[in-house]
Amino acid sequence: MVMRSIEKPPILLTDEQIREFIVDGYVVFKPDLPDSVHERIRQKLHDVFANEVNPGNNILPRVPEMDAVLNSPEVRGALISVLGEGYFEHPHRFCHYTGPLAEGSKRKRTLAENCHQDSYTPLGRPRKHYPRYARIMYYPQDTPVKMGPTYVIPGTQYHKVLSDADRSRTIPIAGLAGTVSITHFDVAHAAGINEANRHRHMIKFIYVRDKAPEKPSWDCRSTNWQKPAEVKTCYDLQLLWSHIWDWMCGKSDRYESADDNLPGNEALPALVACLNSDCPETRLNAIYALGSIGSPAVAPLADALRTSGNQEDATSKGWNEGAVAMDDAAFAPTAAGVHAVPALLALLQDSSEWVRINAAFALGELNSAAADAVPALLRCLNDRSHQVVRTATDALGSIRERGAMFIPELGRLLSVERPDWSEELRRGWTAKDQVRTNSAMAFCRLGTAAATYEDVLIEALDDPCGHVAAFALLALERIGSPEAMAAVLSYLKSRRWDESITQARLF
């Protein structure tokens, strides 16, 4: 976590709040801050949007008063509770602004049309069931329903796509100035229609889990799973929910909290047939039922993944540079645990690009349980496909074990140059940008183990891609040597932002 002046201890979420987060995908709360803080932020944002362009990722240095919100005991506690002590900030931030709907004007889009799952930034990453990313959303002004607050669709953090039925189940997150919500990154949401005569701002910040949980990181009073008192999603996914709970508790058995009505081997063909169903409840229950069967399910799942990968244009159908929806047959082996590693290693050598991508993803989701896969994933970093390289890089960062084997390759990727990776893929970003970003992000997770490559990380501070530099900066901070910290300070001094500069006051 980026260190700032912190005086009060974090206020952690409760068991009930974590259960709500797992089931519905979000928790709403309000930091204990004076109203004057939010009014100052609101007024400054109003001035920015009246006289400047949207600052985008620079919104925090442009309005640094928001540090008081992000550094509050409640926000820090929520982030620790969901992502663990070592969470870190992602460089992507954004202020979503909606002005009043002018009298007589027509709405351009309906609320249902606005509903979406966020894209990953800058380019696509696999959507995940385990909470490895979280989003903080903050209102600096009172935001009643009439002002068009952010709406969420509970439970959709586990969905591949949104159906019309999903879009009809939106719930507004209305609240007073200072209201904050922490959400699973993949939960669907939308900006409402502002019918009030006031400007509405919602600022989002993204945070990333550092490592797999070893124990509960919230105010845990019991590690026994139970449904929250209020369930907002319409689906019954007890096996999935209890599995995520056990993972967040750091249990070695991710089915410890499952009930006794688990399927037997005879259910395998029917469950495999349910994968990738259009019905979220069907596919999600099938994934985690297959995972509960364990070792006997691995071979049928590997066959299903090969079949999926051998379909025509499998990668182009499954890979989207906004966010990547993995095949269901990649989630189920992860749920099965270490039994799946040998089969996934074999799939890493498959001729299908889509199969290799899914296998690398599944191994990464196993964290240290997939340590034996490090040599094979290391070979994937030379794959002809940048999608495979990106996924394998993320997997190595999640596994973390045996870093001495792959840190040199991560260092190589920080300066990789391949002509076929220089083509723009989306919003001005290239495959080279994303490969380097993933590598720098993996370095963040390695901490002092990456100390021998601090010179490479210092060079990466000059990368033309801002995300690469941001993660390299954090990786150097985590190394913490005098040389690394001197480079961090030099970088920040030269790029210091003067938030007092405006169109009317340029110096």
Task: For residue 322, report the phi and psi dihedrals to the nearest 5 degrees.
Answer: -85, -55
Name every residue whose Cβ is closer than 8 Å to that of residue 349 and which is 6 or more positions away in sequence. 356, 376
Q: Which of 497, 502, 466 is nearest to 61 (CA)?
A: 497
pLDDT of 3 reads 39
Task: For residue 151, report the phi and psi dihedrals to the nearest 5 degrees.
Answer: -105, 150
d(CA 438, CA 384): 17
Residue 151 clears pLDDT 90, i.e. is over it? yes
How many residues in total does the chain contain?
Answer: 507
Given a contact cutoff of 8 angstroms between Cβ atoms, the answer to whether 19 and 226 are in contact is yes
pLDDT of 397 reads 96
Which residues sit opposite 219 in a β-bridge? Answer: 14
d(CA 480, CA 291): 40
What does the pLDDT look like over 153-203, one tens digit per residue?
A: 999 999 999 999 999 999 999 999 999 999 999 999 999 999 998 999 999
Where residue 207 falls among pLDDT bands split at 50, 70, 90?
A: very high
pLDDT of 109 reads 77
d(CA 243, CA 352): 30
Amino acid at position 390, single letter: R
Residue 116 clears pLDDT 70, i.e. is over it? yes
| DSSP state, residue 14 | B
Ramachandran region of residue 392, left (φ > 0), alpha (ψ -120 to 50) or beta?
A: alpha
Where residue 1 falls among pLDDT bands split at 50, 70, 90?
A: very low
Percent of the chain residues past pLDDT 90, beyond the cut: 90
Rounded mean pLDDT, 218-242 = 97
pLDDT of 507 reads 85
Task: With H, G, I as helix, E, B as strand and everything else as coil, classify residue 291.
Answer: helix
Where residue 473 falls among pLDDT bands split at 50, 70, 90?
A: very high
Q: Which residues of 342-359 are buried (b: 16+ CB within 10 A; e: fewer)?
A: ebbbebbebebbbbbbbb
Given a contact cutoff of 8 angstroms between Cβ atoms, the answer to whether 65 and 47 are in contact is no
Task: For residue 95, report the phi and psi dihedrals to the nearest 5 degrees.
Answer: -100, 120
pLDDT of 175 reads 97
What does the pLDDT look like over 256-267, one tens digit per residue?
A: 999 878 999 999
Where residue 438 falls among pLDDT bands split at 50, 70, 90?
A: very high
d(CA 470, CA 444): 10
pLDDT of 190 reads 96
Task: For residue 4, report the phi and psi dihedrals to the nearest 5 degrees.
Answer: -130, -175
Residue 106 clears pLDDT 90, i.e. is over it? no
Where residue 83 falls among pLDDT bands split at 50, 70, 90?
A: very high
- The tokens describing 8, both together, are 């009060």
How confident is the prediction for the chain on average, in pLDDT? 94
- The tokens describing 61, both together, are 């240095």
